[in-house]
Chains A and B, each alone.
Chain A
Amino acid sequence: MKKKYFSTFQLIILTLFSALIVAAKIALRLPIQLPGHSGIFWMAIIIVAARVVLKKGAATFVGIVSGIMAAFLGLGDFGYLDTFISYTAIGIGTELALLLLGNPENLVVATLAGIIGHFAKFLVKWAFGAITGAPLGFVALGLAKAMISYIVFGGLGGLLGGLTLLALKKAGFFAYLAEKK
């Protein structure tokens, strides 16, 4: 029989990590009133997912599944379509960043991947504004403040992802994983 691209375990890990992102967004909130702060856990988990499964498409898969969930749950402010595309874009952005930059166990790589991944969400918001015909200059101005916080929280999330990977390694997580197919 033809071997599946993701093993059953990998598929289910990625699924639960997607749900973990959405659960974190619902259950845990930092007391900071700045757009994009939820990206800390979001980026951290996507980066861990990409390293744990170690196959192309892992981060994108997490982005798509968490996007569908977030859309169903009405988590975004700009409707279902924007929510779905934003989450998916984060997955694709992180995927591409890690393809270019390498192993996220390197904290610099993880931080940069977090910034790039989270910035993809910002680009979706911008594109959303542009599609509706709003003047781009105005959209950019309105989103400028948001852009900075997206970068900062994306970077922090990436860093947290990198730190999490290092802690998981030290705690024996990858040895536990290595016993499973």
Chain B
Amino acid sequence: MKPLLYAEKVSFTYPQTQRSSGPLSLSLHQGESLLVYGPSGGGKSTLARCLAGLIPHLYHGQMNGDVWIGDRNTKEMQSWEIAREAGFVFQNPATQIVTSSVEDELLFGLENLGLPREEIKTRFDNVVDQFHLSSFLKRSPFTLSGGEQQKLSLAAIIAMHPSVLILDEPLSMLDSSAADEFINLLKEQQQEGTSLVFFEHRLPYLQDFPGLKRIPLGIASNDQPKSQITTAAHPKKVGAFSIHVQGLTVSFGKKKILDELNIEFEGGQLVALAGKNGSGKTTLLRSLAGLQPFEGTIRVIGNRQDESDFPQLNMVFQNPDTQLFNPTVREEILYKIQSPNQELYEWLIPALNLEKYQDTQPLLLSEGEKRRLALAIALMHPHKHGILLDEPSLGQDQMHKDLLIQLLKTISQMGYLVFYATHDIELAAKADRMILISEKGIIADEPTRNILLNKNAWQQAGLLLPHWISP
């Protein structure tokens, strides 16, 4: 039987950075599913784009090998012809939205196919039923949760009836329960005969996917650390302190995002904050960083050198691109620091695996590298009490997540508070203490081991504790 999608030794090299991906060969028949996996920076997204024809249609660079959809080479097809045959689901559900309502989003692709009005109507109604979207139709996609947005993206593509679905890390922005729901939707699609190609590094979520064939990417990541990083020699230690949060309330209009929260932190703790999207994780971090107006009190006891009793915690923001504008990584890290601590810098650069990028332009780094750079910026700036990290594992593969945790543990061992918000339960499970939060407030705040055993707490938080995570 002729494959629906066939790729032969496909590789791609970007013209400016000379980063290359591949080669990848695969053959996909109707109803089959493939998983292409490999470390971050290994070129998964690039190769996914080669399969979907976005490369070479939208990118300059050197593409070797060929991709065939049915009996046509994607190089010889127009991009809208490819769109009819191969659907593409992107990593970030929020940024792939192109219209201002759920209804328009579903219609966008159908209109582009040039279908008759009646056919558009039939397909539209079917997909609304299938994905249970009837109550959302007039809403702006930006008011949906991350899971709902990703479901909408999938529905908009499924409405176009592609024979192949290419998914570029579709789970990376989703919390555990949304990821589980999304996988179930894909299983249904597979049963209906759609062929799937996953490019993913959150492998445990796909371990039960029926008939999934695995293809390891045959190249080493550009991003591997040379050796195990020694994180034992952080140059600075801090005195004991505690931070007391009492009656913390944050409202946006009439809606209370945080309502009378009480939390206590000690210096030297590694604390994870887990919760569904929209549960107030980022708002809590922003309040602790002094960026968010709030009611209640946040004060530090001990290790104070000035009159203010507000803690000095540096924040590592979710999107590193909000900070980067200097010509090199080194200048970016040292920007606006009056007298940089050279010893700290020398320790930090290898610890974050940024050694070889010190003279690189920050905008040319991969997403994972940029996140590590943002962490370096926060750590280099004077902070007395610790750091706050918002979704630090986005764009990081397992190896770099391990590296990140190792580094955060070292920083906490020096007496600093390290507090990170994440929807990645695997990362949260690595902390000493975990706070589970929902829209109703704090569900549980205990040592991580206890929380992992508390099934009731996970249920209340609306999160799924993946079965492969054990205390």
A→B interface (CB under 8 Å):
1, 8-9, 167, 170-173, 175-176, 178-181
Contacts A175-B16, A176-B16 given; does A170 touch B361 at CB 8 Å: yes
Q: Say whether A176 contacts B363, CB under 8 Å.
A: yes
Q: Say whether B326 contacts A171, CB under 8 Å.
A: yes
Q: Say whether B61 contacts A179, CB under 8 Å.
A: yes
**Which A-chain residue is minimally distant from B361 (CB atoms)?**
A172
Q: Say whether A178 contacts B325, CB under 8 Å.
A: no
Q: Say whether A181 contacts B59, CB under 8 Å.
A: yes
User: What are the 7 tightest A-B residue pairs by CB atom distance, in nearest-first order?
Assistant: A172-B361, A170-B327, A175-B16, A172-B363, A172-B364, A171-B363, A179-B14
Looking at the assembled complex, report how far the CB atom of B374 sits from the nearest CB atom of chain A, in whole angstroms. Answer: 15
Q: Given the complex of chains A and B, what is the CA–CA distance between A181 and B60 in angstroms?
A: 6
**How many B residues touch A, CB cutoff 8 Å?**
19
Q: Given the complex of chains A and B, what is the CA–CA distance between A120 and B61 in angstroms?
A: 41
Looking at the assembled complex, report how far the CB atom of A146 sits from the nearest CB atom of chain B, in whole angstroms. Answer: 33
Q: Say whether B59 contacts A167, CB under 8 Å.
A: no
Looking at the assembled complex, report how far the CB atom of A1 sits from the nearest CB atom of chain B, in whole angstroms. Answer: 7
Which residues of B, 270-324, contact A by the 8 Å Cβ criterion?
Answer: 324
Q: Which of A1, A8, A180 contacts B60 (CB 8 A)?
A: A180
Chain A contacts for B362, CB-based, 8 A: 171-172
Looking at the assembled complex, report how far the CB atom of B356 sits from the nearest CB atom of chain A, in whole angstroms. Answer: 16
Chain B contacts for A173, CB-based, 8 A: 363
Q: Given the complex of chains A and B, what is the CA–CA distance between A9 and B58 in angstroms?
A: 9
Q: Say whether B325 contacts A171, CB under 8 Å.
A: yes
B57 within 8 Å of A by Cβ?
yes
B→A interface (CB under 8 Å):
14-17, 57-61, 78, 324-327, 360-364
Looking at the assembled complex, report how far the CB atom of B410 sits from the nearest CB atom of chain A, in whole angstroms. Answer: 30
Looking at the assembled complex, report how far the CB atom of A107 sits from the nearest CB atom of chain B, in whole angstroms. Answer: 17
Contacts A1-B78, A170-B361 given; does A179 touch B60 at CB 8 Å: yes
Q: Say whether B326 contacts A179, CB under 8 Å.
A: no
**Which B-chain residue is minimally distant from A173 (CB atoms)?**
B363
Looking at the assembled complex, report how far the CB atom of A116 sits from the nearest CB atom of chain B, in whole angstroms. Answer: 27
28 residue pairs from A and B, CB less than 8 Å apart: A8-B58, A9-B58, A167-B327, A170-B327, A170-B361, A171-B325, A171-B326, A171-B361, A171-B362, A172-B360, A172-B362, A172-B363, A172-B364, A175-B361, A175-B363, A176-B364, A178-B16, A178-B60, A179-B15, A179-B16, A179-B60, A179-B61, A180-B58, A180-B60, A181-B57, A181-B58, A181-B59, A181-B60
Q: Say whether B59 contacts A180, CB under 8 Å.
A: yes
**Which B-chain residue is minimally distant from A12 (CB atoms)?**
B98
Chain A contacts for B326, CB-based, 8 A: 170-171
Chain B contacts for A167, CB-based, 8 A: 325, 327
Q: Say whether B324 contacts A171, CB under 8 Å.
A: yes
Q: Say whether A175 contacts B58, CB under 8 Å.
A: no
* Residue in A172, A175, A178 with the greatest tally of chain B CB atoms within 10 Å: A172
Q: Given the complex of chains A and B, what is the CA–CA distance between A178 and B363 in angstroms?
A: 13
Looking at the assembled complex, report how far the CB atom of B446 sits from the nearest CB atom of chain A, in whole angstroms. Answer: 40
Q: Given the complex of chains A and B, what is the CA–CA distance between A180 and B360 in angstroms?
A: 20
6 more A-B residue pairs beyond the given contacts A171-B326, A179-B14, with a C-beta to C-beta distance below 8 A: A1-B78, A170-B326, A175-B364, A176-B364, A179-B15, A179-B61
**Which B-chain residue is minimally distant from A1 (CB atoms)?**
B78
Q: Given the complex of chains A and B, what is the CA–CA distance between A179 and B361 in angstroms?
A: 15
Contacts A171-B361, A172-B362 given; does A179 touch B59 at CB 8 Å: yes
Chain B contacts for A1, CB-based, 8 A: 78
Looking at the assembled complex, report how far the CB atom of B176 sits from the nearest CB atom of chain A, in whole angstroms. Answer: 33
Chain A contacts for B58, CB-based, 8 A: 8-9, 180-181
Q: Given the complex of chains A and B, what is the CA–CA distance between A19 and B362 in angstroms?
A: 25
**Which B-chain residue is minimally distant from A175 (CB atoms)?**
B16
Q: Given the complex of chains A and B, what is the CA–CA distance between A1 and B324 in angstroms?
A: 40
* Residue in B17, B59, B363 with the greatest tally of chain A CB atoms within 10 Å: B363
Chain B contacts for A8, CB-based, 8 A: 58
Q: Given the complex of chains A and B, what is the CA–CA distance between A9 and B15 in angstroms?
A: 18
Looking at the assembled complex, report how far the CB atom of B339 sits from the nearest CB atom of chain A, in whole angstroms. Answer: 24
Q: Given the complex of chains A and B, what is the CA–CA distance between A38 and B27 in angstroms?
A: 56
Looking at the assembled complex, report how far the CB atom of B240 sits from the nearest CB atom of chain A, in whole angstroms. Answer: 41
Chain A contacts for B325, CB-based, 8 A: 167, 171
Chain B contacts for A181, CB-based, 8 A: 57-60
**Which A-chain residue is minimally distant from B98 (CB atoms)?**
A12
* Residue in A170, A175, A178, A179 with the greatest tally of chain B CB atoms within 10 Å: A179
Q: Given the complex of chains A and B, what is the CA–CA distance between A157 and B16 in angstroms?
A: 31
Q: Given the complex of chains A and B, what is the CA–CA distance between A172 and B58 in angstroms?
A: 20
**Which A-chain residue is minimally distant from B78 (CB atoms)?**
A1
Q: Given the complex of chains A and B, what is the CA–CA distance between A170 and B360 in angstroms?
A: 10
Chain A contacts for B14, CB-based, 8 A: 179
**Which A-chain residue is minimally distant from B360 (CB atoms)?**
A172
Q: Given the complex of chains A and B, what is the CA–CA distance between A7 and B364 in angstroms?
A: 23
Chain A contacts for B16, CB-based, 8 A: 175-176, 178-179
